[in-house]
Amino acid sequence: MALPQPLHIARKDLLHLWPETLVVLLLFAAFCWAAPSGWSGSQYAGVATLLAAFLKGFLMPISWLVLISRLIHDEPLVGDRQFWTSRPYHWAKLLAAKAIYLGVFLYVPFLLMQIFLLKRAGLYPTTVVPALLHNLLLLTAILVVPLTAIAAVTATFARMLLSTIGAMIYLLIVGLGLLYLIFRRMPPPGFEPLVLTLIVLLPLAALIYQYATRRTPITRILLLGTPLLIALLLVIVPATALIRRAYPVAGAASDPKLAPVPAQLLPKTAPTGALQVLNNMVEVGIPVATSGIDEQSNYTVKGYAVTLDAPGQHWVSPYLNELGTEINAYQPGVLVPVALPLDVFNQFKSTPVDVHLSLAADHLKLDSPTTWRASAEPFSVPGHGRCSWAADNPEAAPICRFPFAAPQPDFVSARLPASSCGDPESTRTPHQMNLVAGSSTLDFDPVVTVPLSFPASRGAGPAPHPLCPGTPLAFSEAKAQGKVRLEVDLHGLQLDPLAARFQERGSPLRQ
Amino acid sequence: MTGTGYAIETHGLQKSYRHTEALAPLTLSVPRGAVFALVGHNGAGKTTLIKLLMNMIHPSSGTATLLGRDITHLTGEDFTRIAYASENQELPDWMTVGQFLDYLRGFYPRWDHAALVRQLELPLNRKLKHLSRGMLMKAALASILAFSPEIILLDEPFSGLDPLVRDELIEALMSRVNPRSLADQAAFDPASRPTILISSHDLAEVESFATHIGFLHQGKLLFAEELTTLTARFREVTLTLPPSAAGLAPATLTRTSAPLPESWLLLEQTPAAARFVHIHADSEPVNDQLATVFTATDTPSVQIAPMTLRAIFLALAKSGRAPAAPSV
């Protein structure tokens, strides 16, 4: 019984490419050995940790590049001298053979490696199946499809390597051009999945087209056009309208209220330092009073748009990215850093300006806390995490390991002694820490390590408070409640005193 | 299957690379069962034509069919009936001959290479990259004859081979067309005879077995027809006046004002002789044409000699024009 054609071709590939395949598998094994050394929570990297970084940053991607090149170039699609084009190969079956090979010798080992590492960390892979699959999707989007597509339009490894380098330079140029065109622009919500989908689908379509037709020049144009198309989409998309649609204006009684800051609190004159200008933009900190926010809510500003009006002058900005401004009940106001083009700033700086500020914010609300106990044995925490004390250093904070990312934002509260766990006289006081840790895009190691280390209280010295076995831990997870647009009109604002400036010794000063 | 009886048909098939025309619009029909020799100098467009037919490169214009299938729509399934081998084809040279043949076996519904391995004395355990040029071509030929194709396209298969290997290859190839041994002849089914298109720049190597011949020159097909009709209609005609008797003025041969017939090529003339190539000597009245074109003061002798294939091609190449013969 003859094998189906894809398996017949894949078997031939294994016969030919077993050395390259073996190297790829050995590197997976090496990473499985080296990666756990980075889970200690120590800031000092050992040899194994450095090896793991070298493996995932260089050796493994290079071995995949070689394997993909050799695999695709075994039946090259470029040229007119290859023997296979005159044989009863069916292009779809050939492509399937290559996919099977990569599936068996790249995807499955990658998946097994991540499962092994999760198990080794005491975590449960079955709880994070979507994340595992998402990582495979990222592997496909970032590495496999682009490299396979480049291999399909080149004839040799040397040409593929040069093309890959050329593609990286090309992407850099397109990215810089895009940055120039839409500097700091806020992408519309839902745009990132769309871009990721296009990044996978367009090269995949080009790859399939190349296998079906072997029209290399057209495929190359398709591949070159992919970043341009995505960049064009980012430039021409009606971002403001989409953002306004995704972020409805706050109108409910429970929504926060923004108001002007009393005039007497605003600076009247500009300080003497030089204006901070970055990429021809000036940052103006606009103060806004906030109220009506319940204590469990937090609003994270994702972007803002500003309209400036002065006698005979009118200027409107698009929505720009804003990172870091939080609006909650614990602060009476916020300073929204608004970037203005230098010429616009100069135009408006010397006259009172009516400012309309529109903030696009994500609403998060803390859930009721759940209590978990920090036992001397490894103990579970939310987010499918496991924490444990280091056997060789029980004085240190326990190390928590999470699959792919710690639940965030997630606040942990506990009552901790001031000095040591062994002191029964020590008064226990409440303390809080924020679990902030996530894996980078397509991290090979799915285990995220966070020390459960509570920071020292103000005035209590530099040492963190010890967490003692048996201490109850209260975890409060913040859940997304939706998107909202907060708007405020500020009349007669002087921009010049609010602009960011350098101190005379050169350090930045915000008024 | 096509109903036309032609294994290969092209209509205005043309290929250009930017501003260079590799193949001028070409119309050709090759009957089933023919052994069609495509000859021409290096760079004449032979390889381009074969690669177009195999859909290895895409035509700039025109259409073509192989076994009735549009060449631009050939699929893997079609290549169970179509075979191709070339002097510069990139084979998987990491394989041994045995691995290569075993691997290909998996693609074909019919496959038998045992007899070919014996006939061509192929070393099954040797890697393709360690084979000599002749042995590599033998392996390539075995890999295409093993599945009994209906059409075989060979691009310069004998180029650079020593005569012994070349004869072995021709023998293996021709055994599929006209078996030599009585036993093979008895078992031979004429309906299974494959059509063969073979390109070569060496006339001598194809003259012995081709049934049809086409001549490509600088991307243009000067003619394509059956070999027997070609050699029958080409004649070298020599007109010679007898030497003059002593004391008499020498006889002279002069041209009349009548135009030269279209079928005359490369006319050379001296006062006492004339020579040219007649491309339709089998169908046109040569002597009447001579009497119309020339006048002589004495009775000339006329020699009409058959031409070798090489002489025919040289004449055509020199004259730079097609002999106005219909396609086969």
Average pLDDT over residues B312-319: 83
Give the gap in angstroms from C-alpha A227 to the nearest C-alpha of chain B: 28
List chain B residues with CB under 8 Å of A74.
Answer: 92
Does residue B315 lie within any of the structural domains? no
Cβ pair B56:A2 closer than 8 A: no
Q: Within this chain, do residues B220 and B255 fall inside the same structural domain, yes or no?
A: no
Residue A506, by phi and psi: left (phi above 0), alpha (psi -120 to 50) or beta? left
Average pLDDT over chain B reads 89
Domain ranges of chain A: 5-237, 246-367+482-509, 376-440+447-454+461-469
Q: What is the DSSP letter of B300?
A: P
Which of B69, B75, B84, B90 to substitute to test the interface with A, most A CBs within 10 Å?
A: B90
Q: Assign residue A471 a region (left: φ > 0; alpha: ψ between -120 and 50; beta: otherwise).
A: beta
Listed residue (A302, A177, A188) closest to A237, CA to CA: A188
* Same structural domain, B130 and B270: no
Could you tell me if residue B320 is inside a domain? no
> In this model, does residue B87 exceed pLDDT 70?
yes
Are B99 and B225 contained in the same domain? yes
Minimal Cα–Cα distance from A214 to chain B, Å?
9
Give the nearest chain B residue to A15 (CA atoms): B95
Contact partners, residue A123, CB within 8 Å, separation at least 6: A384, A385, A386, A401, A402, A403, A447
CATH number of the structural domain spanning residue B65? 3.40.50.300
User: Same domain for B184 and B216?
Assistant: yes
The shortest C-alpha distance from B139 to chain A (Å) reads 13
The model's pTM:
0.85
Size of interface A-B (CB pairs under 8 A): 57
User: What is the SS3 assignment for A377-425?
Assistant: CCEEECCCEEEECECCECCCCCEEEEECECCCCEEEEEEEECCCCCCCC
Assigned token pair, B141: 């030929």
Residue B314 lies in a domain: no
B72 and B12 both lie in a single domain: yes
Same domain, B211 and B248: no
Q: Do B177 and B253 fall into the same domain? A: no
Structural domain range at position B224: 6-230
- Which residue, among A321, A336, A356, has the nearest Cα to A189 in the 3D structure? A321
Q: Do B108 and A93 touch (CB under 8 A)?
A: no
Start-to-end C-alpha separation, chain B: 20
Please give the residue of chain A at the shortest CA–CA distance from B144: A87
Residue A156, chain B, CB below 8 Å: the answer is no
Contact (CB<8Å) A89/B76:
yes
The answer to whether position B36 is within a domain reads yes
Show pLDDT as tens, one digit a residue, over chain A (511 residues): 578 999 999 999 999 999 999 999 999 999 999 999 888 766 666 889 899 999 999 999 999 999 999 999 999 999 989 999 999 999 999 999 999 999 999 999 999 999 999 999 999 999 999 999 999 999 999 899 999 999 999 999 999 999 999 999 999 999 999 888 888 889 888 888 888 889 889 999 999 999 999 999 999 999 999 999 999 988 888 999 999 999 999 887 778 899 998 887 788 777 778 888 988 889 999 999 999 888 888 898 999 999 999 999 999 999 998 877 888 888 888 999 999 999 999 999 889 999 999 999 999 888 888 888 888 888 988 888 999 887 777 777 888 898 988 776 677 888 887 767 766 666 777 777 777 665 556 788 999 888 888 876 554 444 566 788 888 888 888 888 899 999 999 999 999 999 988 876 544 544 4
Mutation for A interface: B15, B48, B56, most A CBs within 10 A = B56
Given CB atoms, is A86 within the 8 Å cutoff of chain B? yes
Chain A residues with CB under 8 Å of B54 CB are: 85-86
**How high is the pLDDT of residue A155?**
94
Cβ–Cβ below 8 Å for A85 and B107: no
Q: Are A481 and A363 in contact (CB under 8 A)?
A: yes
Q: CA B328: distance to chain centroid? A: 12
**Which residue in A74, A86, A91 is closest to B84 by CB distance?**
A86
- pLDDT, position A440: 59
**Cis before A341? omega within 30:** no
Number of compact structural domains in chain B: 2
What pLDDT score was predicted for residue A425?
A: 67
**Residues in A touching B22 (Cβ below 8 Å):** none
What whole-number distance in Å separates Cα of residue A298 and Cα of residue A197? 31
Residue B264 falls inside a structural domain? yes
What's the pLDDT band for B321 if we cut at 50, 70, 90? low
Strands B195-200 and B35-39: parallel
Which residues in chain B are contacts of A91 at CB distance < 8 A? 76
pLDDT, position A509 = 44
Instruction: Report pLDDT for A347.
Output: 93
> Do both B252 and B193 map to the same domain?
no
Q: Does A15 touch chain B (CB under 8 A)?
A: yes
DSSP-assigned states of every residue in A296-327: TEEEEEEEEEEEEEETTEEEE---EE--S-EE
* Inside any domain, residue B316: no
Interface test with B, best of A86, A90, A93, A213 (most B CBs within 10 A): A86
Which of B56, B78, B80 lies closest to A80 in CB terms? B56
What's the pLDDT band for B2 if we cut at 50, 70, 90? Answer: very low
Instruction: Choose the closest CB to B51 out of A74, A80, A87.
Output: A80
**In this complex, do A85 and B91 lie within 8 Å of one another by their Cβ atoms?**
no
Q: Decide if pLDDT at B325 tops 80.
A: no
| Distances, alpha carbon A449 to alpha carbons A39, A41, A446, B80, in Å | 6, 6, 10, 58
Q: Are A153 and A163 in contact (CB under 8 A)?
A: yes
* B107/A89 Cβ within 8 A: yes
The reply to whether residue A87 touches residue B55, judged by beta carbons under 8 angstroms, is no
CATH class of residue range A246-367+482-509: mainly beta
Question: Does residue B201 lie in a domain region?
Answer: yes
Do residues B140 and B173 both lie within one domain?
yes
Distance CA A374, CA A380 (A): 8
* Residue of chain B whose Cα is closest to the Cα of A76: B90
Q: How far apart are the CA of A97 and the nearest CA of chain B, in angstroms?
A: 14
Span B231-252, average pLDDT:
83
Structure tokens at A123: 């975590």
Residue A495 token pair = 């921009």
Residues B180 and B88 grouped into a single domain:
yes
